[in-house]
Homo-oligomer: A and B are copies of this chain.
Amino acid sequence: MPSRLNVAILGHRFMGRAHSNAWRQVGRFFDCPYEPVLKVACGRDAGPLSEFAHRWGWEETESDWRKIIERKDIDIIDIALPTFLHAEVAIAAAQAGKHLFCEKPFAINLTEAEQMLAAAQAAGIVHYLNHNYRRCPAVVLAKKLIEQGELGTIRHWRGAYQQSWLSDPSHPLDWKLRKEFAGAGPLWDLGSHALDLAQFLAGDIIRVVCHTKQFVTQRPIASNPATVGTVDVECAANLMFELGSGGIGTIETTRYATGRDNHHTFEIYGDGGALTWDLEDMNRLQFFDGAGDQSTRGFRSILVTDPSHDYVKNWWPPGHIIGYEHTFVHAAADFLAAIADPGTSSVTPDFSDGVRITQVLEACLRSTSSGAWESAT
């Protein structure tokens, strides 16, 4: 019988739902060292918060996050808030000794990112940054194949994270379109995911050149659609980079790619093989084995639902695919394992990865201003 850990969640919208689901599901499908208890949900809108807490089974609600952090009975703080709120909460929670499960993008700038990491390290807590796509079984397999040397030396990374929800100019100005709340636009929101996978799979990015662009700069304000406000983040960002290992790459991020709902994709070419993946078809990995016979080589479409793969055996038999939110369940499982056994378990990405990603993102912004290459280390 596992002992219990009390979780407090901050935020109750899209990410609040996905995280709540993870805490509820993890013990059903994974053998966890702890049972997470959905203890308290925190937010400022009493009505929606109450509805959220009731629906997901959070035992209590609270409007002041500082009170939660003061509570002795809370073990885990789950930060499912807009980016600009991460640093203050995370630092205070770390100082109070809470383990941190933090949504991405990590921080609004590198200064805050470094403060968050410093606080987490000083406190000795377990800290996790939720770039959840690392835990798609197909991405896990990609990592394994690369570590086994199947791709050889990586020469090219070709990535993109394309959405289309801003193609419609009547879409209102929301917090993701305001620099003060979001840090930046798709570069921060989508690019952080894309860069996380690039560095996870292909290693450190050492320099970048970035190109941002404005397409639609005035949008209706949701609370009063007759008025408009200014989009002060970039509408799209393209970047080129160089890897420490000598490979090169590109990443495109946009919310104006008509026809793409959630098209997070990469192609990786090494001198020994190649891989491609696409989040919209997230259960598959395409693998080209360069060592194969010349006449029968080809990209192999691997449906990563075989129980031999990490995480997969905990779900369903082969050919029964999993969905988006399962990656959060995987993260929760690994996070609980890391708390139980900090010596031998680890959960990544963590706040040090958050700092690294933010370094690259800030280099991109500098490059946008300078029109030139910038160091990303």
Contact = CB atoms under 8 A, between A and B. Distances in A.
Given A21-B28, A271-B256, A155 B302 contact: no
B256 A269 contact: yes
B258 A269 contact: yes
Given A155-B236, A158-B160, A280-B321, A300 B303 contact: no
Given A211-B240, A300-B298, A319 B280 contact: yes
Interface residues of A, number: 90
Contacts of A269: 162, 164, 254, 256-260
A298 B288 CA distance: 11
A29 to B, nearest CB: 8
B300 A258 contact: no
B263 A295 contact: no
Given A158-B252, A240-B211, A323-B323, A259 B299 contact: yes
Given A24-B24, A163-B319, A258 B240 contact: no
A109 interface: no
Contacts of A42: none
Contacts of A156: 162, 236, 252, 254, 256-257
Interface stretch (A82-90, A304-312, A330-338, A343-351): A304-312
Nearest to A18: B316
A282 to B, nearest CB: 6
A184 interface: no
Contacts of A261: 303, 305-306, 317-319
A296 B167 contact: no
Contact of A303 (B215, B298, B309, B326): B298
8 contacts: A14-B316, A156-B252, A240-B250, A256-B271, A258-B274, A263-B319, A284-B298, A323-B323
Interface of A: 14, 18, 20-21, 24-25, 27-28, 55-56, 141, 145, 151, 155-156, 158, 160, 162-165, 167, 169, 209, 211, 213, 215, 236, 238-240, 242, 246, 248-250, 252, 254, 256-263, 267, 269-274, 279-282, 284, 287-288, 290, 294-303, 305-306, 308-309, 315-326, 371-373
